[in-house]
């Protein structure tokens, strides 16, 4: 099952288009601000310009003229004059100036050098003259958007006029107020109206663009989720969806007090069903399985389809027995999902008890599902349905695997692995004919570790190839040393794992190891298990022939433990055949076993192969094998595996009394 970065995938899929939306809003604000700026600049600028022009004209009319009152009285403008106390002393109209507010200073914008002029609103005006905090003269431009008035003025061809008062303080302390009008023609109003419409349409288009963008983004995210999270075969959800949503479900506050079970449900022998029918029929059956699972889990439970015939399930439970019953009910329905077949389904379960939010968020569902899968694999040898829980024994096994894996490289570097030798004797002469190199592990922390506890782990991880090199180099060095010391040495068999035979240059590797140790190839026997012959037979034959050309002999270990041994003997050019100890185990029909062994020995002899019987523990077996012509015997009857120093003593003796165990 491929690993994925769940946090990153979840973040990508659920990421809202925040940046894109913010960018669109920012652009719309810029456009709105630009249009509004044009609107207010043109609107207010025209108003300010008209005001300034009117003030300038009055300023030019009365500037430097001492007979101000006579000029005013002769003009057509309405005016009135107040004394220093604000009382009207003369004029040709009523006072409609709004004097309740502080006069507005026109000097800021347009009337440079004439700070004496001030402007007031007219009380009878429909429009308002106000000021901002800087006392800038502002006509409330939004009042000009009174479309009814604009339409009336436009249809009548008249201009809209805003009355206001210009105030001029005279030198004698009196103040002259002159009424004027700010005139807007139809063109001015149409311009403002056009700007308003343009602004509104632009903003509507921008908001529509943002809305369309958001909808498209939502659709894109849904399509992406469908692409990433849909399982093509079942039509439902896949493993990635399960991991993400199971993590969310477990970490929700309302679920913290609930126990959950992670289940690995497997369709047993699904491949056989496909072989007998077709891939399309198999996929159809997987869809039926998936739908049946969905019908039988709760609304807050999750299920998906992962690899081939595996279905991950997250199920809430109250008790272990109740959970077992729920899972058994699902399996019972699945077993009879097809009326023409009786299927088997196996479930491995790992429990997640009620936990705090902090603990739940730190859970690694990948590991928990692997635990459930490990529990299910306890049932792997059976074709029948079954349920297995991940327990402390399995946990200890996993801890041991992790510990061995952690220490394996250091053990090689420190040469903690020790070579033991188990002699092989001729059953007729009791003479030493050979030996097998066996590995043991001596570690300060772990103590003495037998090969059965670490070799399977190395085979599973691929580290076994390192062990092959280690054993070959140590045995080659021992043989070279004993040869130089004058011992009458015999060939020692070294097991080479099946994983090593995928390498094209394996024969050259073995040859170079022996050359480096100055060990003649005739004293090293390469031992291969029968199962290795079922990988790549052509490559195996090529490697064996190369080894034999370099002077090595090659033996088949555990002959008889598989089901294709005779076919292997037909194709492979082997030198030695080792009969599996299972041939010699006590059984109900010992006579039949003897017939098989006898014929196997004859077959090997006919193929010019030497024979070794391993696992021999009593004299009756030895006598039988001697009569049948077995070349060598390896077992506790003659000798147990022993350290190199003890094996040296055996080489010095050369022969063993026939009855010695």
| Residue 275's pLDDT band (cuts 50, 70, 90) | confident
Q: What is the predicted pLDDT for the residue at 45?
A: 57
CATH number at residue 341: 3.30.70.270
Mean pLDDT in residue range 229-249? 85
Structural domain includes residue 223: no
- Domain with 596, as residue range(s), is 461-642
Q: What is the predicted pLDDT for the residue at 95?
A: 78
| Residue 140's pLDDT band (cuts 50, 70, 90) | very low
Query: DSSP H helical segments within 230-310, as ranges?
Result: 239-251, 270-276, 279-295
By mean pLDDT, which of 78-87, 152-161, 356-365, 481-490 is the weakest? 152-161
| Residue 216's pLDDT band (cuts 50, 70, 90) | confident
Structural domain includes residue 620: yes
Contact in structure between 388 and 348 (CB atoms under 8 Å): yes
Structural domain includes residue 233: no
Q: What is the predicted pLDDT for the residue at 15?
A: 53
Quote the CA–CA distance of 491 and 248 in Å, as a whole number.
63
Contact in structure between 6 and 244 (CB atoms under 8 Å): yes
Q: Tell me the C-alpha to C-alpha distance, in Å, between residue 440 and each of 415, 455, 471, 581, 638.
A: 11, 10, 11, 21, 20
Q: Is the pLDDT of residue 273 over 80?
A: yes
Q: Is the pLDDT of residue 354 over 80?
A: yes
* Cα dihedral 443, 448, 453, 458 sign: positive
Task: Let me know whether 247 and 117 are in one domain.
Answer: no
Bridge pairing between strands 632-634 and 576-579: unpaired
pLDDT averaged over the chain? 79
Structural domain includes residue 456: no
Q: What is the predicted pLDDT for the residue at 357?
A: 72
| Residue 239's pLDDT band (cuts 50, 70, 90) | confident
Task: Let me know whether 35 and 165 are in one domain.
Answer: yes
Task: Let me know whether 188 and 317 are in one domain.
Answer: no
What are the tens digits of pLDDT across the range 426-461? Answer: 999 999 999 999 999 999 988 999 999 999 889 888
What are the tens digits of pLDDT across the range 299-314? Answer: 889 999 988 889 999 9
Q: Is the pLDDT of residue 553 over 80?
A: yes
Structural domain includes residue 615: yes
Closest C-alpha to 3, from 247, 239, 328, 263: 239
Structural domain includes residue 551: yes
Task: Let me know whether 172 and 117 are in one domain.
Answer: yes
> What dihedral do alpha carbons 403, 460, 265, 300 form, nearest 10°?
40
CATH number at residue 510: 3.20.20.450
* Cα dihedral 148, 151, 156, 157 sign: positive
Q: Determine which helix (DSSP H) or strand (DSSP E) holds 387, and give its type and residue range.
A: strand 386-389
Mean pLDDT in residue range 2-11? 51
Among residues of the chain, what percentage have pLDDT more than 70?
72
By mean pLDDT, which of 158-172, 508-522, 614-628, 636-650 is the weakest? 158-172
Q: What is the DSSP letter of 159?
A: P
Q: What is the predicted pLDDT for the residue at 516?
A: 95
Closest C-alpha to 545, from 575, 515, 521: 575
Mean pLDDT in residue range 565-586? 79
Q: What is the predicted pLDDT for the residue at 561?
A: 67
* Cα dihedral 517, 518, 521, 525 sign: negative
Task: Let me know whether 260 and 191 are in one domain.
Answer: no
Quote the CA–CA distance of 119 and 182 in Å, as a whole number.
12
Task: Let me know whether 100 and 162 are in one domain.
Answer: yes
Task: Please tell me the pTM assigned to this model.
Answer: 0.56
Partners of residue 120 on adjacent β-strands? 165
Structural domain includes residue 450: no
Task: Let me know whether 114 and 164 are in one domain.
Answer: yes
Q: Say which residue, 334 or 134, is predicted with more confidence.
A: 334
Task: Let me know whether 374 and 471 are in one domain.
Answer: no
Number of domains in the chain: 3
> What dihedral do alpha carbons 74, 79, 83, 86 form, nearest 10°?
180
Q: Is the pLDDT of residue 29 over 50?
A: yes
Structural domain includes residue 224: no
Q: Is the pLDDT of residue 517 over 70?
A: yes
Q: What is the predicted pLDDT for the residue at 227?
A: 66
Task: Let me know whether 547 and 614 are in one domain.
Answer: yes
Task: Let me know whether 507 and 566 are in one domain.
Answer: yes
Quote the CA–CA distance of 361 and 357 in Å, as a whole number.
6
Quote the CA–CA distance of 599 and 591 in Å, as a whole number.
13
Q: Determine which helix (DSSP H) or strand (DSSP E) holds 579, and give its type and residue range.
A: strand 576-579
By mean pLDDT, which of 431-445, 446-460, 537-551, 562-576 is the weakest? 562-576
Task: Let me know whether 486 and 589 are in one domain.
Answer: yes
Which one of 264-278, 456-470, 550-564, 577-591 scores highest in mean pLDDT? 456-470
Q: What is the DSSP letter of 575?
A: S
Task: Let me know whether 176 and 291 are in one domain.
Answer: no
Q: Is the pLDDT of residue 501 over 80?
A: yes
């Amino acid at each position: 099952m491929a690993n994925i970065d769940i946090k990153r995938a979840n973040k990508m899929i659920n990421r809202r288009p925040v940046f894109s939306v913010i960018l669109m809003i920012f652009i719309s604000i810029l456009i709105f601000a630009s249009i509004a700026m044009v609107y207010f600049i043109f609107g207010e600028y025209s108003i300010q310009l008209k005001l300034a022009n009117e003030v300038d004209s009055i300023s030019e009319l009365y500037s430097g003229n001492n007979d101000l009152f006579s000029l005013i009285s002769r003009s057509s403008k309405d005016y009135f004059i107040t004394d220093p106390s604000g009382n009207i002393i003369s004029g040709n109209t009523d006072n409609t100036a709004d004097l309740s507010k502080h006069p507005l200073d026109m000097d800021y914008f347009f009337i440079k050098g004439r700070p004496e002029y001030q402007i007031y609103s007219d009380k009878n005006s429909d429009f308002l003259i106000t000021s901002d905090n800087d006392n800038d003269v502002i006509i409330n431009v939004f009042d000009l958007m009174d479309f009814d008035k604009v339409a009336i003025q436009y249809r009548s061809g008249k201009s809209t006029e805003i009355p206001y008062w210009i105030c001029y303080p005279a030198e004698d302390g009196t103040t002259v107020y002159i009424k004027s009008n700010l005139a807007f023609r139809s063109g001015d109003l149409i311009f403002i109206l056009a700007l308003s419409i343009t602004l509104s349409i632009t903003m509507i288009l921008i908001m529509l663009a943002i809305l369309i963008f958001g909808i498209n983004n939502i659709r894109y995210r849904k399509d992406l989720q469908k692409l990433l999270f849909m399982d093509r075969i079942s039509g439902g959800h896949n493993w990635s969806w399960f991991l993400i949503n199971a993590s969310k479900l477990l970490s929700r506050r309302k679920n913290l007090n609930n126990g959950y079970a992670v289940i690995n449900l497997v369709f047993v022998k699904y491949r056989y069903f496909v072989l007998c029918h077709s891939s399309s029929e198999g996929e159809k059956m997987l869809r039926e399985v998936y739908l049946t699972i969905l019908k039988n889990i709760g609304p807050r439970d999750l299920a998906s389809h992962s690899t081939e015939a595996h279905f991950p399930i997250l199920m809430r439970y109250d008790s272990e027995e109740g959970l077992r019953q729920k899972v058994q009910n699902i399996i019972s329905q699945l077993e009879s999902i097809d009326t023409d077949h009786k299927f088997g389904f196996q479930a491995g379960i790992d429990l997640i008890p009620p936990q705090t939010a902090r603990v739940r968020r730190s859970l690694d569902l990948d590991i928990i599902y692997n635990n459930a899968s490990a529990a299910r694999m306890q049932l792997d040898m059976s074709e029948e349905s079954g349920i297995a829980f991940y327990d402390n024994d399995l946990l200890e096994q996993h801890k041991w695997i992790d510990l061995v894996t952690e220490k394996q490289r250091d053990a090689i570097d420190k040469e903690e692995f020790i070579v033991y030798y188990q002699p092989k004797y001729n059953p007729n002469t009791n003479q030493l004919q050979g030996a097998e190199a066996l590995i043991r592990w001596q570690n300060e922390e772990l103590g003495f570790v037998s090969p059965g506890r670490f070799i399977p782990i190395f085979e599973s991880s691929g580290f076994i190839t390192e062990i092959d090199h280690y054993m070959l180099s140590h045995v080659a060095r021992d043989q070279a040393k004993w040869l130089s010391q004058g011992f009458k040495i015999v060939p020692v068999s070294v097991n080479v794992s099946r994983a090593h035979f995928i390498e094209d240059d394996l024969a050259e590797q073995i040859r170079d190891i022996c050359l480096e140790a100055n060990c003649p190839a005739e004293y090293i026997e390469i031992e291969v298990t029968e199962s290795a012959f079922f990988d790549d037979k052509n490559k195996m034959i090529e490697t064996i022939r190369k080894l034999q050309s370099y002077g090595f002999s090659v033996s088949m270990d555990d002959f008889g433990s598989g089901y294709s041994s005779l076919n292997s003997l037909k194709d492979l050019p082997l030198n030695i055949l080792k009969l599996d100890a299972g041939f010699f185990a006590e059984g109900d029909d010992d006579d039949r076993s003897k017939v098989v062994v006898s014929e196997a020995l004859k077959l090997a002899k006919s193929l010019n192969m030497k024979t070794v019987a391993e696992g021999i523990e009593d004299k009756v077996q030895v006598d039988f094998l001697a009569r049948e012509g077995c070349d060598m015997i390896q077992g506790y009857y003659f000798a147990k595996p022993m350290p190199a120093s003890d094996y040296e003593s055996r080489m010095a003796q050369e022969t063993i009394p026939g009855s010695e165990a």
